[in-house]
Chain A
Amino acid sequence: MKVTMTQDILLKALERGAFASLSDEAQTDTSTLSSLIKSVKITANKDEIIFESATALVASRYVQPITDNVVLKEEGTVMVPAKELYDWINRQGNCMIGLRSKDFDNPKVVNASGGDADEATKASIRKIGSLELVSQDVSKNGSKWTLDNYAPDQVPSVDFDIISTPLFIASLEQLEEGVKNIGFSAMAKDSDHLFDSISFQHKDEKMYMLTTDCSRCALWHLPNADKITMDGTITEEQMEKNGLKGAWKSNLLVSSKLLAQVCKLASNTSPIAFHREDAKNRIYVSQPGFMVRMASAEKTMAEKFPPLDIFLIKKYADLCNIAVGTLSSRLNTVSIVNKNAILFIFAQDKLLLKGVSECGHAPCKATLSPSNLTGEFKKVWNVKHLLDILKVAKGDEIKLMIPDGQNKDSLKLIYPDQPNASYYVMSVERSKYDLNDEE
């Protein structure tokens, strides 16, 4: 293989195609075949150069067409360590970069640590040559380096052609906004890949992104989602009848962390399509030329995720509006005493916040004046849940809403200036605050 292209094109292609091999999962892999997992496969054909990589959880492919700034001199395939290649290219600045493979007369066998092995075993890797890297800037100066080239046939290419009709498509801009506004509500890590995911569910062709850890939930309406073919969310009637059985069909769970990274790499020239391979619980996120495959939660696990309908059908009435800055400041003050649960007492045009701790601090109180307070109300909420919502504030005011019926165990919060987002938090019961005795 022999190709030349500008540094920015190569870097962009590598970031996308080597997305899997540059991931933490690949870079921290210590298995016997870790050298292959950490490598990117580059295939140069007469029309395009394909960059691809894969781990157990994620696989990626990027197709770079041959253009004026990409010159193909010789076709071929190489498989080289992605991180080393990326780091070297990243340090070259604005220049042309040439990649040229050189094959050994006799392939070598190396072990997991990179040392030469005496004979080929299941745990050994075939090294067939090297990839010479050359950079040259306008002044004809540059750098040279060589990387190991492993036999590319040791890792089969991921078949991205199995994806056909997408479940839906969405604009990158809206997805990015969604991740930014609701990502905090997902768990940082969940071994079942359930609550660290963003759920895509729709009702009546209105697509929503949803993150939750079951005690709080953030909802983002994707206004431009199109070509929706997936099932609509399970309704409350269906839930009462059959529980959440089969709910996975109407719930696309995509890793929150990976989706945020994909959004950063995707191009804003075309929408992003979402596909699912039902048999293997795999999600495909694609744009023309750029495809990522991710592992998703098991179907039975996915049925433990709250359905969209339980949030949409519940009726909430306005409680009050509060200035974001003041509420944030008062909550931070009271949370000195109790970082977890704070009592909210809405009465006589005032909101009294009270922090009581079991750790020996004296109780701390703070008041503020909400506007349009509609009634008297008392509840304990997790202060962290509320502070996280206030961190993504849009506008100066936040609206608090309480359920219409008898059961007032949840709170809905919305920013009037951000109609696409809504947040829900569950109250804390059986707390140290005795609600009946409070003033």
Chain B
Amino acid sequence: MGMPSPVLILGDRGLSQNNINAAKRKYKYYKWLNFSARANTADEIRTAAGQGDFLSSKKAIIIQDIPNKKEIRSFLSDLVKLSSENLKFILWDSENEIKVDPKTKTFNKTWTGWINEIKENPYHKIINNGETFTEKEGGDCVKFIQSRFLKAKKKISDQNARLLSQIVGRDRSMLDTEISKLILTAPNEIDESFIIENAFPSAKDAVLYQFGNVLDTCSYGDSITMMQKFLDMGVNENVLADIMVKKARWQLAAASLWEQGMSWPEVITALMQMGKFPSSIWHERTITPTEKRKSSEGLKELEDRMKYMNKIYGMLERQMDASKKKARAEVIPMEFMADLTTKFLRNNIIAPHFNQYKEPEMKERLVNRCLKVYLFSLNKLKEVRYGENPKQDVMEMVAALTSKSL
């Protein structure tokens, strides 16, 4: 089958570039010409389309940088009508001017008419590569990852696909590139450890995850190597120090909850409720997690929260600062992170001293250890920010966090 024309390519820039590279490879006997609808004039583009050739070469014209201008749109829809066996057009919305309405999932009004005009050409093709997945599109992101792996006959579970998106981020081309790399060495069934070991952390949270994961092994050498790897990648010492303080804080919270008498599964649930509003609902032990979620559902908007505070605690409007609506307490983003925190305490700190200390001494020592590590880390964070040798300070933090002593 011949090359379709006109081809309209929308969405993710990296994937769109891949489409074009693939087309250039597939139709390499075409003479490929590139134009920018912003930088090149309409006369220039039309002349190039019509310019004769001594060898009657087939021609494919790529027009990118399409601006949001009515006259350019109308020129392009007129130009692509010249499509023939010897003349093909690719229109690439390389600047993502064509937006999709998140509610209706359709193109916005400005472009809909134009896209319909393009569709009137009998051999047209529309390639929508989509945009970066939003938080709400987590399910779509998982499906995208799974379909990419499936093309290479590899399987990945929902949970592991989600983990991969956390490490790499939700940018489609980043995910696509990462998956292309992973499938070269991936087993047929992709598991968590493969992702953690091999996925390149592009997302900010992923640095936390991957670095934290190595710290949890209590290997000072591996942790320092990983630290150096991140520093070489351009990750600032502040980011790493921040991660370690956060990690120490979660460990302290977990140790403290365990010391108060909770079982480890209860500690995980409590950790996940950390930072959630309102605490009177989330910290209420008599109701189930589902009931908690339902009760707090209606309190997402600021006005509703203010009404709630007034009703339950009798707080007046003037006593509440509406400008602080964006300030959020710290939450643990994923349940497995809370799980890893408790596993670390149980396997790496408590287990080696299991025969040495009995309860309640073990609990006291654990809280003391976590408190010391947390306060030390906090102090070092200050030095990383304002001191003269941040790398040395980060190394000392690594030493504290990987210490197994009680």
Contact = CB atoms under 8 A, between A and B. Distances in A.
Contacts of A424: 54
Contacts of B41: 339-340, 358-359
B293 interface: no
Contacts of A217: 54
Nearest to A356: B43
Looking at A217, A358, A409, the one whose CB has the most chain B CB atoms below 10 A away is A358
Contacts of A382: 47, 51
A429 B47 contact: no
B31 A428 contact: no
Nearest to B52: A426
A341 B52 contact: no
B43 A306 contact: no
Looking at B43, B46, B54, B82, the one whose CB has the most chain A CB atoms below 10 A away is B54
B54 A341 contact: no
Contact of B43 (A214, A338, A427): A338
Contact of A429 (B52, B55, B57, B75): B52
B49 interface: yes
Looking at B46, B49, B57, B75, the one whose CB has the most chain A CB atoms below 10 A away is B46
Contacts of B44: 339-340
Contacts of B87: 430
A409 B43 contact: no
A4 interface: no
B53 interface: yes
Contacts of A32: none
A410 interface: yes
Contacts of A338: 43
Contacts of B49: 430
B360 interface: no
A212 interface: yes
Chain A interface size band reads 20 to 34
Contact of B46 (A339, A426, A432): A432
Contact of B55 (A214, A339, A359, A410): A214
A431 B53 contact: no
A310 B55 CA distance: 9
Given A214-B31, A358-B75, A430-B82, A341 B46 contact: yes
Contact of A359 (B42, B50, B52, B54): B42
Contacts of B57: 214
Given A358-B75, A359-B41, A430-B82, A215 B46 contact: no
Interface residues of B, number: 18
Interface string B30-63: 0100000000011110110111111101000000
A357 interface: yes
B53 A359 contact: no
A214 B54 contact: yes
Nearest to A214: B53
A434 to B, nearest CB: 13
Contact of A427 (B42, B52, B75): B52
Given A358-B46, A359-B41, A430-B82, A215 B52 contact: yes
Contacts of B53: 214-215, 426
Contacts of A214: 31, 53-55, 57
A408 to B, nearest CB: 11
B50 A341 contact: yes
Nearest to A337: B43
Contacts of A340: 41, 43-44, 46-47
Contacts of B46: 340-341, 358, 430-432
Contact of B52 (A212, A306, A310, A410): A410
A410 B53 CA distance: 9
Nearest to B29: A304
Given A358-B75, A430-B82, A215 B43 contact: no
A427 B52 CA distance: 6
Contact of B42 (A358, A429, A430): A358
B54 A357 contact: no
B275 to A, nearest CB: 50
Nearest to A212: B54
Contacts of B47: 340-341, 382, 428, 431
Nearest to A385: B51
A380 B51 CA distance: 9
A410 B55 CA distance: 12
A388 to B, nearest CB: 14
B43 A428 contact: no
A409 B52 contact: yes
B352 to A, nearest CB: 44
A426 B51 contact: yes
A409 B54 CA distance: 9
Given A215-B51, A215-B53, A429-B52, A359 B43 contact: yes
Contacts of A409: 52
A291 B31 CA distance: 35
A382 B53 CA distance: 12
A376 B54 CA distance: 24
Contacts of A427: 52
Contacts of B31: 214
Nearest to B31: A214
A429 B54 contact: no
B371 to A, nearest CB: 47
B347 to A, nearest CB: 44
A430 B87 CA distance: 11
Contacts of B54: 212, 214-215, 217, 306, 310, 410, 424, 426
Interface in B48-88: 49-55, 57, 75, 82, 87
A217 B55 CA distance: 12
A7 to B, nearest CB: 48
A427 B53 CA distance: 9
Interface string B298-329: 00000000000000000000000000000000
A382 B55 CA distance: 17
B70 to A, nearest CB: 13
Interface in B80-101: 82, 87
A424 to B, nearest CB: 8
A304 B57 CA distance: 10
Nearest to B51: A215
A435 to B, nearest CB: 12
Nearest to A216: B54
B83 to A, nearest CB: 11
B52 A428 contact: yes
A413 to B, nearest CB: 15
Nearest to B81: A430
Interface in A335-377: 338-341, 357-359
A431 B52 CA distance: 11
Interface string A284-314: 0000000000000000000010100010000
9 contacts: A212-B54, A306-B54, A341-B43, A358-B42, A359-B42, A424-B54, A426-B51, A430-B46, A430-B50
Q: List the 5 closest A-B pairs by CB distance, nearest first.
A: A426-B52, A340-B47, A358-B42, A430-B50, A341-B47
Given A212-B54, A428-B52, A431-B47, 4 more contacts: A341-B50, A358-B42, A358-B43, A430-B49
